[in-house]
Amino acid sequence: MARCSRMYPALLVSLVLSGCSSLDALNPFSGGSKPKMAELAAFEERVVLRSLWRYDIGKAGDAVFYPAIVKGAVFVAAADGSLARLEDGAEKWRIKTGKPLSAGVSSDGERVIVGTWQGDVLAYAARDGAFLWAARVSSEVLAPPLIEAGMVIVKSGDHRIEALDLEGRRKWFYQRPSPPLSLRDTSPLVFAEQFILTGFPGGKLLALSVQNGAPVWEGTVAVPRGATELERVADIVSPPTLSGTTGCAVAYQGRLTCFDFSRSGQPLWYKDVSSSVGLMTDGNNVYVTDDEDAVSAFTLASGSSHWKTRAFFLRGMTAPLVTGQGYLALGDKEGYVHLLSSADGSSAGRIRVENSPILIMPQRLSGNRLLIQTRSGRVEALAIEPR
């Protein structure tokens, strides 16, 4: 059975398996010595990652928080209910929501949205942090809500998608049956034209109408296989990536599959790749981090293998961010940010933000600047500069 180095908690009926353990930890026959994490190798530094500013928002705890970046403002949150607005690293306001938070942050520049373990969706004014409204969805909010088309669209822990209007009133919802065992999904929803793209347990990628939540298209990324429920887990727990009419998604214990959206989602190609952290495209290649932390590049048009690096074995790498300067940026579980050449996967730059895991892909702040948020709550802006 495939091994995962940073698996998010899974749900088995009412049992919650928390932490970053792999599914092998549940298998009584998976004993033996565990492989060691790769040590970082020396390399010729071609670019410098320079710290611009840093801020501490507070620990993430068991949650995964995404910073929201809107028109130069950065909104960040922490497990203890802290929510803040930053501009060039300076705190403009900081509030306590009064509830432990489980997901966020989302913002459209007018409002800021976060979620709780109890299924609360909380909205605040982006300008000054004033409370606007609260709504309740069916279960815990694990992923940052999506604000699009005059709605706040929320994915909850029971794999239900629910749309609220901008005052918090429910407009529609979509839910499909889930298998007995599924992975905790903290991945953001993706908006494309008039559709919402998201993955579901069992390796399904769906496009939902933003107007009413009706399924418009369904694609099979992976087919569950195996004799046990553990072996049949084949969930999509990272956001799909889009380039023109081509969309790609990857499943844990499954495949990387690309589709042609202009032809009703017809599959173009697939590769046997297992990933719980995700992928990204630059329009020419698809870059993916697999569950042993190998980073690979495949040609978007045909799926042919371009390159693969195994230099980060078991380092808990994030999905790769395409920086736009010919590099990919990834974080790891020791708090390092790595820059790889998108041409061949070789290391080009590295910096350690702090000794705390980076759980999500680095975010693009602007131009050559990146934004990092760690599990301990360090928020740091980095600039990519020539050496």
Give pLDDT, residue 372: 98
Instruction: Delimit the domains of the chain by residue range.
Output: 43-62+312-387, 65-176
Q: DSSP class of residue 66?
A: -
Give pLDDT, residue 93: 98
CB count in 10 Å sphere of residue 71? 10
Question: Cα separation of 252 and 250, whole Å?
Answer: 7
Among 189, 179, 220, 257, CA closest to 10: 179
HSE value, Cβ hemisphere, 13 Å, CA-based, for 22: 20
Give pLDDT, residue 358: 98
- The reply to whether 43-62+312-387 and 65-176 are identical in fold is yes
Residue with tokens 């605040």: 124
Do the beta carbons of residue 371 and residue 379 sit within 8 Å?
yes
Q: Select from 3.40.50.150, 3.40.50.720, 3.20.20.70, 2.40.128.630 the CATH code of 43-62+312-387.
A: 2.40.128.630
Per-residue pLDDT of the chain (387 residues; tens, 9 = 90+): 333 433 333 333 333 333 334 454 445 445 567 899 999 999 999 999 999 999 999 999 999 999 999 999 999 999 999 999 999 999 999 999 999 999 999 999 999 999 999 999 999 999 999 999 999 999 999 999 999 999 999 999 999 999 999 999 999 999 988 888 889 999 999 998 889 999 999 999 999 999 999 999 999 999 988 888 898 899 999 999 999 999 999 999 999 999 998 777 899 999 999 999 999 999 999 999 999 999 999 999 999 999 999 999 999 999 999 998 899 999 999 999 999 999 999 999 999 999 999 999 999 999 999 999 999 999 999 999 998
Query: pTM (2 decimals)?
Result: 0.91
| Lookup: tokens for 336 | 């390092």
Cα dihedral 370, 196, 185, 281 sign: negative
CB count in 10 Å sphere of residue 348? 24
| Lookup: tokens for 29 | 């026959």
| Lookup: tokens for 284 | 């020419």
Instruction: For residue 192, list its beta bridge partners.
Output: 195
What's the Cα-to-Cα distance from 160 to each of 138, 156, 234, 255, 300, rounded to whole Å?
Answer: 8, 6, 18, 23, 31
Give pLDDT, residue 30: 52
CATH number of 65-176: 2.40.128.630
Give pLDDT, residue 227: 85
**Cβ neighbours of residue 98 closer than 8 Å, sequence gap 6 or more:** 81
